[in-house]
């Protein structure tokens, strides 16, 4: 019997991953996902969806490794299954190149991705402005395909979906026993977290079916990521900038930078130029607290602030959030569970 009512707020890659983890693991819970915006209108839909990462300064490295590995293994299983095309997940190979040799020559995820090695001098010759590079195979998760697929999986497991803006957690206190906050940038207003800020990202989606290998400049500013229906060419990382309109100056700069890396982009057709606001935070917040709502102590689990790496870490932090919901269940008074 479903006796504990859980609300997951947010329908981006973090919200749907968390909602699926909870509904599939905890039959005692009835799970409702509420969100103002759904695919294709979330930040997650704009993401290139490459499974890569940079280090978050406040999270123990072992925890970040676990998040990354959980996400990688989960998406690899999908990529190697019959569900790959309808889930929008694929294996992708390519290189990450650096103008200067980086301090960390082996990122913490180097033994989780497949076939990680340094580039040879011969391979680097193609990029005369770069001194160092790495070659590897990772995953690309295309959220405009993946999110509808996760939603189906969530509904099939008994989850319910409601489109609505939540103006304050108080609104949920009468109808839910546990609230899971996966609102990304929305957490700035919903839970008053001033650490959360927008990091603007503008990209091109281009038609260039001859491109099969990704190229990423290690500074994270320029990248070419071939996908299922298009190639994502970017980008920008404008901290504190919340403009969703296209910036022609950014378009010009992206084309200049990326054509230097891949001259054949001159022949590519521009499909569209989306803009998204990453939920910037020094490190993601994945924890729980008791919040007094209308005179009741309500457990709230937070899972937001993944900055530029939400697709890579979504499944890993979702599993941590599931663990926190389990703890909430153990700590709840007995009558709430009956
Ligand atoms: P979102 O996708 O923003 O979802 C937030 C959800 O919360 C939405 O449904 C919203 O409507 C809802 N919400 C917010 N407030 C409320 C409220 N008050 N009431 C109800 N609902 C609310 N990451 C990678 O890992 N790899 C990449 O290659 C990559 N490339 C990127 C490229 C670009 C150009 C951009 C912009 C981002 C990229 N990212 C990448 C980052 C990634 O997109 C984000 O980290 C991720 O999408 C965050 O997911 P989220 O679910 O937390 O947020």
How confident is the model at residue 104, as a pLDDT? 87
Confidence bin at 337 (pLDDT 50/70/90): low
* pLDDT average, residue stretch 86-110: 96
Residue nearest to atom 31 of ligand 1 (CA): 47
Our mutation pick for probing the ligand 1 site, out of 37, 148, 215, 243, counting the most ligand atoms within 8 A of Cβ, is 37
30 lines ligand 1 (CB under 6 A): no
Q: What is the pLDDT of residues 19-30, one digit of tens each?
A: 999 999 999 999
Q: What is the pLDDT of residues 235-249, one digit of tens each?
A: 999 999 999 999 999
The DSSP-derived string for 121-156 is HHHHTT-TT--EEEEEEEEEE-HHHHHHHHHHHHHH
171 DSSP 8-state letter: G
Q: What is the pLDDT of residues 47-97, one digit of tens each?
A: 999 999 999 999 999 999 999 999 999 999 999 999 999 999 999 999 999
CA 184 to ligand 1 centroid distance, Å? 6
14 lines ligand 1 (CB under 6 A): yes
Q: Assess whether pLDDT exceeds 80 at residue 138.
A: yes
237 lines ligand 1 (CB under 6 A): no
Say which residues have a Cβ less than 8 Å from residue 159's Cβ, sequence separation at least 6: 19, 20, 23, 31, 32, 33
């Amino acid at each position: 019997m479903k006796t504990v009512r859980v609300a997951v707020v947010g329908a981006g890659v973090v919200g749907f991953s968390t909602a699926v983890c909870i509904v599939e693991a905890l039959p005692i819970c009835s799970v409702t996902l509420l969100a103002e915006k759904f695919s294709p209108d979330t930040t997650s839909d704009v993401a290139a969806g490459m499974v890569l990462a940079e280090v978050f300064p406040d999270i123990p490295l072992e925890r970040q490794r676990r998040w990354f590995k959980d996400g990688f293994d989960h998406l690899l299983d999908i990529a190697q299954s019959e569900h790959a095309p309808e889930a929008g997940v694929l294996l992708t190979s390519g290189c990450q190149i650096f103008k200067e040799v980086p301090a960390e020559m082996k990122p913490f995820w180097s033994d989780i991705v497949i076939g990680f090695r340094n580039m040879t001098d011969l391979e680097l010759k193609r990029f005369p402005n770069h001194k160092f590079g790495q070659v590897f195979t990772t995953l690309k998760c295309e959220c405009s395909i993946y999110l509808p697929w996760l939603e189906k999986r969530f509904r099939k497991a008994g989850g319910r979906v409601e489109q609505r803006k939540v103006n304050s957690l108080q609104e949920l206190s009468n109808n839910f026993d546990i609230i899971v906050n996966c609102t990304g940038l929305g957490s700035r207003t919903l839970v008053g977290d001033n650490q959360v800020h927008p990091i603007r990202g503008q990209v091109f989606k281009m038609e260039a079916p001859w491109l099969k290998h990704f190229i990423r400049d290690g500074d994270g500013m320029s990248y070419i990521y071939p996908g299922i229906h298009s190639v994502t060419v970017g980008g920008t990382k404008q901290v504190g900038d919340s403009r969703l309109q296209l910036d022609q100056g950014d378009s010009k700069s992206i084309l200049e930078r990326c054509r230097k890396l891949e001259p054949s982009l001159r022949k590519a057709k521009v499909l569209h130029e989306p803009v998204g606001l990453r939920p910037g935070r020094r490190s993601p917040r994945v924890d729980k607290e008791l919040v007094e709502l209308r005179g009741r102590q309500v457990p709230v689990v937070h899972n937001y602030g993944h900055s530029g790496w939400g697709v890579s870490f979504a499944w890993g932090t979702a599993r941590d959030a599931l663990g926190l919901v389990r703890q909430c269940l153990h700590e709840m008074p007995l009558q709430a569970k009956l």
